[in-house]
């Protein structure tokens, strides 16, 4: 299983690191450029929310990001050191009643969106075609209809 963990200072200037992380994930898993927004937008929005709303831009606090390959999907978990928030209340509000569109974008682009630790941790999965390097083999994972197709081929 692939797993990556990084920790960022709660400073909006750190958001540029998210672009690098998203690019690295796309290169590592051979994800086509067409899917860059599915990777980068939810990640950017969740980290920005963690910095601004969770940690209140307190540079002494960290935002932790964990990425892993799990059951043919990429899984992300973003954790801040804040007090959390009433995510159930927010999710029940209509689109027009929400302050911003960040969480709405995350909801639209991801699967299995969940909150824990009183809202200070958000987790989600994305379903995009990617390849997983394993030793001298590369497993390509594609979702077609309801069936996951695995195609093993040798890398050059």
Structural domains in the chain, sorted by start? 3-128 (3.30.565.10)
Per-residue pLDDT reduced to its tens digit, 14-46: 999 999 999 998 988 888 899 999 999 999 999
Bigger pLDDT: 71 or 116? 116
Chain centre distance of CA 26: 12
pLDDT at residue number 155: 32
What is the reported pLDDT for 121?
98
Q: What is the mean pLDDT of residues 126-134?
A: 76
- 78: phi then psi, degrees, rounded to nearest 5: -120, 125
Do residues 123 and 114 make contact, with C-beta atoms less than 8 angstroms apart? yes
75, pLDDT greater than 80: yes
**What pLDDT is stored for residue 150 in this prediction?**
31
* Model confidence pLDDT, tens digit, residues 96-119: 777 777 888 999 999 999 999 999
Between these two residues, 120 and 152, which has the higher pLDDT value? 120
Tell me if 30 sits within 8 A of 119, measured CB to CB: no
User: Among the listed ranges 45-54, 67-76, 142-151, which one has the minimum average pLDDT value?
Assistant: 142-151
Q: What is the pLDDT of residue 134?
A: 59
Q: What is the DSSP letter of 18?
A: H
């Amino acid at each position: 299983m692939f797993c990556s963990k990084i920790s960022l200072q709660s400073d909006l200037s750190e958001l540029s690191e998210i672009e690098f992380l998203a690019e690295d994930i796309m290169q590592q898993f051979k994800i086509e450029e067409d899917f860059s927004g599915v990777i980068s937008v939810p990640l950017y929005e969740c980290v920005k929310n963690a910095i601004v709303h969770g940690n209140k831009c307190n540079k002494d606090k960290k935002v932790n990001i964990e990425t892993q390959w799990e059951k043919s999907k990429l899984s992300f978990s973003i954790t801040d050191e804040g007090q959390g928030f009433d995510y159930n209340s927010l999710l029940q509000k209509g689109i027009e009643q929400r302050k911003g569109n960040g969480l709405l974008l995350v909801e639209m682009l991801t699967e299995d969106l969940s909150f824990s630790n009183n809202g200070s941790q958000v987790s989600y999965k994305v379903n995009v075609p990617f390849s997983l390097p394993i030793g001298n083999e590369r497993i390509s994972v594609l979702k077609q209809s309801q069936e996951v197709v695995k195609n093993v081929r040798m890398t050059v």
